[in-house]
Structure 1
Amino acid sequence: MRPLFADPKTDFVFKKIFGSEEHKPLLIALLNDLLELDAAHRIATAELLSAEQRPKVAELKHSIVDVKCIDAQGTRYVVEMQVLNVEGFEKRVVYNVAKAYTGQLDAGQQYPELNDVIGVTICDFELWPGRDGTHVPMLSRWRMQEQHGGARGLGQLQFVFLELPKYDAGETPRTTIEKWAFFFREASNLRVVPEALAEEPFTGALEVARVARFTDEEWDAYIRAGIALQDERGALSLARSEGRSEGRREGQEEGLRAAVRRVLARRGLTLAAEAEAQLAACTDLGTLERWLDQALTAATAAEALR
């Protein structure tokens, strides 16, 4: 039996809700709420920008979903749903925001014409799990800060993260942020519209995700996106488990080396002689584990060993 609502974390549904002209008010509402903008500074209009090419690594194209837009003041937004926690995730987020910033200038234009860029990322995993006594809230905002006096500046690049696993309000979300987290986490499990989400923009988002409104082609696309995402999740799990298994049988170092070679081979990438010698000579477990993670996403075999 089909669910009442489709999972908004999947590629197809996230773009359907937040990446279309028809439902652009939902994207604006999401940005206003996650940016915690007051009435005087709320975004009123936005223009959707054409999506850039998907990630080069085909195995991970369904776990990275992005929508780009610009508001009336010129501020640009890169809104992403990240389902899998992969090596280099934070660097990729910074890269995407920085690229959106520098990509504004064409030949002959001047630096004053650059507008601010804000990256808004929804994570279906804990990015900062609170190690070493530090605590990062479910919704966190990041910008540059002077390290001696604490003054904030250079705000041209800003970052906002919503970590869904940190949601702990159960079935009774109260704040707007809690309601968005509840929506993303639980929409596909709902059998009725709960009282907490019985208001805009959540009712509107749920209506877009209502499976009964899907055409047969849209339902097939949704199912394919879900299968692809599970395949990506399985590839990550398999690579890491193979590394651990090989490590128990043949020694941790050689087991991780074998796993790196196997993952690269499955992706059709071949280590050159110099890179193979680098891999064979490495005895640091942390480095080998990092290379194994990078082997899943690197565009070339050489990049996996950086």
Structure 2
Amino acid sequence: MRPLFADPKTDFVFKKIFGSEEHKPLLMALLNDLLELDAAHRLVSVELLSPEQRPRVPELKHSIVDVKCVDAQGTRYVVEMQVLNVEGFEKRVVYNVAKAYSGQLDAGQQYPDLNDVIGVTICDFELWPQREEPRVPMLSRWRMQEQHGGARGLGQLQLVFLELPKYDASRPPRTTIEKWAFFFREASNLRVVPEALAEEPFTDALEVARVARFTDEEWEAYVRAGIALQDERGALSLARREGQEEGRGDGLRTAIRRVLSRRGVALDAGEDARLAACADLGTLERWLDQALTAATAAEALR
């Protein structure tokens, strides 16, 4: 039996809700709430950036979903849904935001032409575990700060994170941020619209995710996206388990070879020898993550 609502964390549904011209008000509502903008500074219009304007970053194709837009003042937003916690995730987020910042300059343009970039990342895992001190809240906002006096400056790059597992599921959501977390976490499990989400923009987001509104082609795309995500999750889990069972270094090398083989990517003799000779566990971990999406063995072992 089909669910009432599709999972907004999947590639197809996230982009259907937040990445289409038709539903731009939902993207603005999400940004306004996660950026905690007051009435005087709330976004009233955004322009979705075309794929050609999006920085290309080698990454898992289905567990990292992004939508990019620019507001009337020129500020750019990189909105991402991250389902799997892969090695180097924080560095990838910073790189992606920095790339969006530096990528604004075309030939003949000058540094004053650069506009601010804000990265908004929704994580389906704890990036900063609650058991660690100092505790980072479910919604956290990051920007540069002078370390002696605490003055804030250099605000051209800002990062915002919403960590879904930190939502307190023991009670109904109260704040707008809690309602967004509840929406992302529970939408696919709902059988009715709950009272907590019976208001805009959540009712509108749920309507877009309502499976009954999907065409047959959209339903097939949703199913394929879900299968692809599960394949990535399973491949990463299997590879790491093999690495643990067979001895860290040997297991990682075996996992890299198996992932590449299953994806039809062949290692030549030199590449295989390079893999066999590598004893640095950090490098092997990085190669394993890259092996999941690399088009060639050379890309996986760079």
Is the CA contact 1:7–1:184 (under 8 Å) kept in the aligned structure 2?
yes
Task: State how far apart, in whole Å, the 1-side matches of 2:178 and 2:272 are.
Answer: 48
Letter in 1 for 2:225: A
Name the residue aligned to 2:231.
231
Say which SS state the counterpart of residue 68 (structure 1) adopts: strand
In the alignment, structure 2 segments of 5+ residues that lack a partner are none
Name the residue aligned to 1:259.
255
Is the CA contact 1:211–1:219 (under 8 Å) kept in the aligned structure 2?
yes
TM-score (norm 2): 0.90
Task: State how far apart, in whole Å, the 2-side matches of 1:24 and 1:40 are.
Answer: 20
Closer/same/farther in 2, CA of residues 284 and 217 from structure 1, 3 Å limit: closer
Task: State how far apart, in whole Å, the 1-side matches of 2:141 and 2:163 are.
Answer: 12
Task: State how far apart, in whole Å, the 1-side matches of 2:170 and 2:296 are.
Answer: 43
Name the residue aligned to 1:5.
5
In the alignment, structure 1 segments of 5+ residues that lack a partner are none
Check if 1:180 corresponds to 2:209: no
Is the CA contact 2:4–2:190 (under 8 Å) kept in the aligned structure 1?
yes
Give the share of equivalent positions with the same residue, in percent.
85
Name the residue aligned to 2:289.
293
Letter in 2 for 1:113: D
Superposition RMSD in Å: 2.3
Name the residue aligned to 1:218.
218
Name the residue aligned to 1:205.
205
Is the CA contact 1:146–1:152 (under 8 Å) kept in the aligned structure 2?
yes
Task: Report 1:121-160 matches (<5 A).
Answer: 121-130=121-130, 132-160=132-160
Task: Report 1:1-306 matches (<5 A).
Answer: 1-52=1-52, 60-130=60-130, 132-170=132-170, 172-245=172-245, 247=246, 251-271=247-267, 276-298=272-294, 300-302=296-298, 304-305=300-301
TM-score (norm 1): 0.89
How far the C-alpha of 1:284 sits from its partner, in A, is: 4.7
Is the CA contact 1:63–1:82 (under 8 Å) kept in the aligned structure 2?
yes
Task: State how far apart, in whole Å, the 2-side matches of 1:205 and 1:230 are.
Answer: 24
User: Aligned residues, how many?
Assistant: 301
Greater Cα offset, 286-295 or 96-105: 286-295
How far the C-alpha of 1:271 sits from its partner, in A, is: 4.9
Task: State how far apart, in whole Å, the 2-side matches of 1:42 and 1:83 are.
Answer: 28
Say which SS state the counterpart of residue 133 (structure 1) adopts: coil
Is the CA contact 1:76–1:115 (under 8 Å) kept in the aligned structure 2?
yes
Letter in 1 for 2:88: G
Task: State how far apart, in whole Å, the 1-side matches of 2:16 and 2:292 are.
Answer: 28
